[in-house]
Structure 1
């Protein structure tokens, strides 16, 4: 692996990435060091050096600085080349504007990405850690929320935007100008609810009815249904027997609905032949004794 030479830079490599890799390869050739020596002097592994010089993707800024220091070159030129290559990778075709020149929300979000590139493009988890916590102990810059902001899916609040610039150590003068730009472009943006606050009630549907309103709407519907059943013969008016729970007086009665005299006599004889329950006898005796005690002397 140590003696294997590098292949040509891929033809699909963007122009800025190609320019950066050419600079790194020229610095290695001018130093006369092998990959092993560059890795040892730069404090990185040989595989990291080889991937950085392959030209397939933009290496990290730390890797570029390590190779540059190992080759004895200045970091400023290499850093500017890395910034151009990273911006070309993350925001192809985008132009960087100052805080007083941005004119849309998309340009401000793109400026946030340029700020991140200028600081070496740190991971979102690192930015969350660098922003710290608020007075309640909650994180000021949640990485998941920042991810949605940088993708343009939600607007950045002023609190999040301030924490983002704090994590990147943006100078105070630039920070004031960027805050003015944020207020100018996101003045009418809906505010995000605070942590722990319940979500607002969505009124896409009509509000719930009270019991009185529900009754006022239900009674006409019930009256209309009863009127339809009455006209179609499904509902009959109750008479006195029906109100007393005896059924309709004029309703047709089957012949075998009521028992005849023979069935009634057989039921009475069967009931008389059964011995009385002991509990009933005891109750009767107790009742007679109570009557005797409470009677006149």
Structure 2
């Protein structure tokens, strides 16, 4: 015989108390210790530790459904199938009632956390999306994560129970397919003739808004000169590189470089003379330049003759 069990806590809800009391009576009827119940459940292929089974009957908190059912099957006569079936059905009913009691404060609704500070409307955040899903789950009778996984698969998109847990905890943002499947699963868990999902469109819109706020804004390259595409920076870098080369070979002219830089950067509105010449004018200008070069070699100064034609 094991030691005498502690009484169910006085602050335990009536439905959870009924579940804990039923499990304790099953254990007493079986005459087994928690260790022996654990061994029997392991032989049935659903291993549960002695401490886990003891906590399930303690009444401190709601046990998992699979733990409560494993407790009932282990405590029932393994050779009496009808008795096992009745025990599991009874425990399942008690657990469902206790889960509804456990979720009652959440299912009652009330203002979301974001609306308690005087705001006119709840903030559209991942936390409030998760809170709304948890409330709908509670209003549907607090179906287990495994049940939601199966119901979502029946809805056409399976959401693993581990993912359901993360979504309900507000730790991950569901995809559109996951949210649609979960909304259908919760409605299905509520039973025929009931609907706990008020507006699917609003829930999907909330999910899309949270995603849009979480997505990083597209990067825009802005240079120190305020040029978005960086062309000005490239021009200045190329100018500095060319200037360095010309200085090394001794062919850099300060006045000419400043004038050309001002034109390229759009500081001056007057273009260089050859930029407005057509092909014939440019050819004629080049011919005169060639003649000027020959005249220079021969001692004739034609520079004054070229300037009027170039500036016209």
Normalising by the residue count of structure 1, what TM-score does the alignment of the two structures yield?
0.46
Structure number having the greater helix percentage: 2
Answer with 1 or 2: which has the greater Rg: 1
* TM-score, structure 2 as length reference: 0.44
